Structure 1
Amino acid sequence: MSTRYFAGKLVAQNYAIYRPSYPDSVFTLCINFLKNGVSNEVNKFPFAVDVGCGTGHQSTAPLAKYFDSVLGIDISKEQIAEAKKSEHPENVNFKVSAGEALPVGNETVSLLQVAAAAHCMDIVQVYKEADRVLTPGGVVALFSYSTAPETSNHPKSAEIDPILKEIADRPEERGFFVPGNYMVKRRYTDECFQIPYADKTRIDNILHPITNTVEDFVQFHKTLSRFRKMEEAEPDLTKQWMEDATARLLNALETTDMSSEFTYNLEVHMLLGRKPHQPK
């Protein structure tokens, strides 16, 4: 079953505020792969499902322009409540559901997408559900971003990047990684993630540039499950360390203002697979 890392109203609210969306290139890759499986020109596909959608802005809403209808599902009722409150296109809807038991009919889905959530689920069961709900030629897409932020072309990169890495790596060093965190770190190369279709591809190193304030960068990392575990287990130590790391980051950026912006990159890794047009 799906692991409930993101339950709780405050967690969902912070997720909505601080979690970054994905770059347009990620969705373009999904749609182009989907289009490659059809013989005629298609402007819009009928139906997409975004599994583990969170609060909806990160990966669900961007699909709206490609589909007649989009459904975002998440096992967390708090995440879905935030998603429903958010501004989103009229053809996007949200529902509480586990990824292992999708609330849609057989062969109705053109694209089944799982963004930064597959490592929290029983991926074997998710793939079984994907095979049930995908139309012939439909596509399943899994992607997530790396846990190693780096600045690009910043004059102080040599000073900034080690601090960003320290912030990203701290939960692992303190022993708060769970198996799913290591799956992300290995970029979904584990055997269980390999899509069980012959027509499939893997794409690595998709650049994900993010411009954040220092405050947003810190709060984004605090939304990650591994950081929340660390804060709960070691509240005083984590608070002191984060304050120190933040002060050093501000110093490296030559500012004292938490609202100062800087740009860093994450890298997205993606798996794409197409359901056969003919039964196996």
Structure 2
Amino acid sequence: MAVQLFKKLTYSSVYQKYMFPVSGEIMNLVLSYVKEKTNGRPLEMAVDVGCGTGRYTLPLAPHFKKVLGIDISGSQINVAKQYCPAKNVSYMVAPAEKLPLRTASVDLVNAGLAAHWFTVDKFASEAVRVLKTKGCLALHAFYPATEIEYKDLSHDLSLVMSEVWNTLYQYDDISTQHMFCQYQSIYQAIALKDKERITDVSVKIQMDIHEIIGFIQSIFMFQGFVEKDVKGAEEFLIQTEKRFREILGEEADTVRLNVHMKHYCVLASNIKMETC
């Protein structure tokens, strides 16, 4: 299973260093939603499910009295603990489908770049169980495609990245299908009436060639490529970097490129406990 990749320490380190940065736009959406639905009450507890290396856990720390990050991967949790300056954040190994929390004890259940890995119906049931009345659920990720913008070279650069994704899709699984539909199927599985799905949230960051190649390595599908063909995966990276350099010419080592991705978010509130 692809999820086993996250249990490898080498992959956890690559993921922490190179995965696409946390979306400030999405985090603002989540936090604004929570504050609206909880009517400004003090926020006691958030749990970040499938927290990985804690990339989406730490941004929650200033807004909650306590934040717990859980993940099924011990190696991801170990890396998360190494990058944890917040005193109100803790981590533990646990599955998304059996949350180690009391019923009605949580203000926010969050999952960033993670819900597509869960057994969705079991996780959704657990999320509803642990949420307080008016507690919120936030599930978000990005669409598996990328555009690169730079001067009059945008088309050629984006074409290379499109071909990268097309190669990696050969190593996808059901989790990728959830991402392609922008969590539509996950949205339908959430047994709360007060819910919404926000799609096509445009996010732009600047990256250099080294960071883009690192990002490719952090994608789980690339790790699937490595498991099946180590030499082929290494050559793929070399040729991809070579193509970027050929397009950019003398600027290749100094330029920072605008990288565009689409994010999306499923939000729900436990205002009414009855199911849909």
Q: What TM-score does the superposition give when structure 1 sets the normalisation length?
A: 0.91
Structure 2: tracts of 5 or more residues without a match: none
**Which of 201-210 and 255-264 deviates more?**
255-264
What secondary structure, in the 3-state scheme, does the structure 2 residue paired with 1:155 have? Answer: helix
What secondary structure, in the 3-state scheme, does the structure 1 residue paired with 2:103 have? Answer: coil
The residue that corresponds to 1:65 in the other structure is: 62
> Does the CA contact (< 8 Å) of 1:4 and 1:75 recur in 2?
no
Structure 1: tracts of 5 or more residues without a match: none
**Which of 112-121 and 188-197 deviates more?**
188-197
Q: Which residue identity lines up with residue 95 of structure 1 in the other structure? A: M
Does 2:31 match 1:31? yes
What is the Cα deviation at residue 118 of structure 1? 1.0
Equivalent residues in 2 for 1:112-127, closer than 5 Å: 112-127=109-124
**Which of 91-100 and 231-240 deviates more?**
231-240
> Does the CA contact (< 8 Å) of 2:49 and 2:111 recur in 1?
yes
- The separation in 1 between residues aligned to 2:254 and 2:105, in whole angstroms, is 45
Q: How has the CA–CA distance of structure 1 residues 38 and 232 changed in structure 2, closer, same or farther, with 3 Å as cutoff?
A: closer
Q: How has the CA–CA distance of structure 1 residues 166 and 201 changed in structure 2, closer, same or farther, with 3 Å as cutoff?
A: same
1:185-243 Cα shifts (integer Å, max 9, x gaps): 22112267542211111101112222222112111221222111112212222322321
- The separation in 2 between residues aligned to 1:275 and 1:200, in whole angstroms, is 9
Does 2:249 match 1:254? yes
Q: Which residue identity lines up with residue 273 of structure 1 in the other structure? A: A
Q: How has the CA–CA distance of structure 1 residues 259 and 228 changed in structure 2, closer, same or farther, with 3 Å as cutoff?
A: farther
> Does the CA contact (< 8 Å) of 2:203 and 2:262 recur in 1?
yes
Aligned length: 275
- The separation in 2 between residues aligned to 1:255 and 1:112, in whole angstroms, is 47
Output the aligned Cα RMSD. Answer: 2.1
Identity fraction in percent: 24
What secondary structure, in the 3-state scheme, does the structure 1 residue paired with 2:65 have? Answer: strand
Q: How has the CA–CA distance of structure 1 residues 79 and 259 changed in structure 2, closer, same or farther, with 3 Å as cutoff?
A: farther
Does 2:110 match 1:136? no
State which of 229, 233, 246 in structure 2 corresponds to 1:234. 229
> Does the CA contact (< 8 Å) of 1:70 and 1:92 recur in 2?
yes
Q: How has the CA–CA distance of structure 1 residues 269 and 2 changed in structure 2, closer, same or farther, with 3 Å as cutoff?
A: same
- Tell me which protein shows more helix as a share of its residues: 2
Equivalent residues in 2 for 1:1-280, closer than 5 Å: 3-39=3-39, 41-42=40-41, 44-56=42-54, 58-152=55-149, 154-172=151-169, 175-190=170-185, 193-255=188-250, 257=252, 260-277=255-272
Q: What TM-score does the superposition give when structure 2 sets the normalisation length?
A: 0.92
Q: How has the CA–CA distance of structure 1 residues 150 and 9 changed in structure 2, closer, same or farther, with 3 Å as cutoff?
A: same
- The separation in 2 between residues aligned to 1:150 and 1:66, in whole angstroms, is 33
What is the Cα deviation at residue 5 of structure 1? 3.1
What is the Cα deviation at residue 141 of structure 1? 0.9
Q: Which residue identity lines up with residue 12 of structure 2 in the other structure? A: A
What is the Cα deviation at residue 278 of structure 1? 5.7
